[in-house]
Structure 1
Amino acid sequence: MSLYLLHCAPDPKALTLWATRHRLLSPDGDAGYAIHALLSAAFGESAPKPFRYLGAKQGLLAYTDQSSEALRQQTALVTPDVEQALGLDALAVRAFPQTWQQDQLLGFEVRVRPVLRAKDGRERDVFLHAVESSTATGSTTASESREAVYADWLERQLSLQGAASVVRGGMDAFRLSRAIRRGAGKHSSERQVRTVTGPDAVFKGVLQVRDGDAFNRLLQRGIGRHRAFGFGMLLLKPVRSC
């Protein structure tokens, strides 16, 4: 499967207006669900994900298996408000590398939501879960920092199917953010909008590729949960620039 890197420049005012009109802007101003909805409106089932919105200056990045020609064909009939909100007039797409050497070093940055699904179906912050579990068992995990717990979680995510491992790195930013989500229902208009609060962390560092094919699958899938809403996109750069 081919992999492409997409970039566009959403218009902040048009994006906020569209999100507000559709009640998809969180109390914190997080645009993750709004961009998810806009990408779905523009590209349908081929909506690029995972994606990362880096703000007005750097725009929106996303991975997709669709070529530039295919993406432009899909947006030919998009409504003007969606086109303006996403900045599709500046859409750029290029092929992304798919061949990785074993033990290759790469600089990385990733925004993640380190949560797990609890037995009751709700999401739990992995740090709070670790603290509660260690308190119950009398282990020492409760003394570990939030960053250490998240770093361990990230290492496990990267090492799925032997894809990669962290050589060095750390948490560059953290906050608790409130995100918009919709409940169950056949149609979006039937699904109740709700606000979900959870951990929102950015990690930067250097990783080492362990298995090229598994690493490609990891890039295409993304890391952790909420990958369709602005989390989990693994951004890469040459290690010499780290």
Structure 2
Amino acid sequence: MTTAPLYLLHTQPDPRLLTTWMVRHRTPDPGEALHGLLRAAFGTQAPQPFRYLDERRGLLAYTTLDAPAMAEQVALADPLAAQALGLAACSNHDGYRLRSFPTQWSQDKELGFEVRVRPTVRSGQKEQDAFLHAVTLAGGPQGTLVDRQAVYTQWLREHLAGHEGVPRQPWQGAVQLLDVQLSAFARSRVMRRTQPAGDNTRKGRAIEGPDAILTGRLHVTDPAAFAHLLARGVGRHRAYGFGMLLLQRAG
């Protein structure tokens, strides 16, 4: 199993221009706005998964673009998108930063992690909060005893392991989770657009659901699969600011 080189991109999006983009494109969702800006700047080479931390810490993303390829993409990018994303140097900052990220990890390497996820399951034709789904399955008074952290931890374990009956993917079996904590939780609305219809317009709909940050420790059990996992991300909505595994030294 071969893995492509991986790089970590860091930018400082301009909050004023990001807000302007959101207003212009009629979206209250920063994830969709950043998705659109990255697509406008990079086309099909848009870095993902990504994580927008905040105005001070900026945006992080994994990409397979090396320094020359990144410089070429930035030079050809839509100027307004590049400026909004903080790709171009200005008086406030020096532009983007790019550094090589490991793709060769020692087996049984222990690492700390943080990941922002949208832990949902399919319920009929809709997505449902995995916790609310578990409460419904528990039924009656027992539903109040369901632990949100335990449900989301199990959701994460299942997504990392893959689903029974589905062909094995290159990123499955990459890690063993040692411990997981629910560090932050909120309910948020994300915007998703339909494919262009006959009138060439994309209709948007707001989807309300869980927005969770999980932290903990993991063991790398399959180094090649782990490299694929980092490049892919975890769960759904990976192109909209969810699923990026941020790593640190264990402990």
The question of a shared fold, defined as TM-score above 0.5 by the shorter chain, is answered with yes
Q: Which structure features the higher share of helix residues?
A: 1
How has the CA–CA distance of structure 1 residues 188 and 83 changed in structure 2, closer, same or farther, with 3 Å as cutoff?
A: farther
Corresponding residue number in structure 2 for 1:57: 56
1:125-173 per-residue CA deviation (whole Å, 9 max, x = no partner) reads 11111222232xx896762211110011112223342111221230000
How has the CA–CA distance of structure 1 residues 186 and 6 changed in structure 2, closer, same or farther, with 3 Å as cutoff?
A: farther
Q: Unmatched 5+ residue regions in structure 1?
A: none
Aligned length: 233
Q: Unmatched 5+ residue regions in structure 2?
A: 89-94, 163-171
Q: Give the alignment's Cα RMSD to 1 decimal.
A: 2.0
Corresponding residue number in structure 1 for 2:165: none
1:187-229 per-residue CA deviation (whole Å, 9 max, x = no partner) reads 9961111111110000111111111111111111100010000
Corresponding residue number in structure 2 for 1:145: 147
Tell me whether 138-147 or 187-196 shows the greater mean CA deviation: 138-147
Deviation at 1:181, TM superposition (A): 1.2
Identity among equivalent positions (%) equals 49
1:72-126 per-residue CA deviation (whole Å, 9 max, x = no partner) reads 2122132332122100021111111011111110010000000122332x11111
How far apart in 2 are the matches of 1:149 and 1:142?
A: 13
Q: Normalising to structure 2: TM-score of the pair?
A: 0.87
Corresponding residue number in structure 2 for 1:83: 82
The runs of 4+ residues in structure 1 deviating greater than 3 Å are 138-142, 186-189
Q: Which amino acid in structure 2 is aligned with residue 54 of structure 1?
A: L
Q: Which amino acid in structure 2 is aligned with residue 117 of structure 1?
A: R
Select which of 229, 232, 238 maps to 1:227.
238
Q: Normalising to structure 1: TM-score of the pair?
A: 0.90
How far apart in 2 are the matches of 1:178 and 1:166?
A: 29
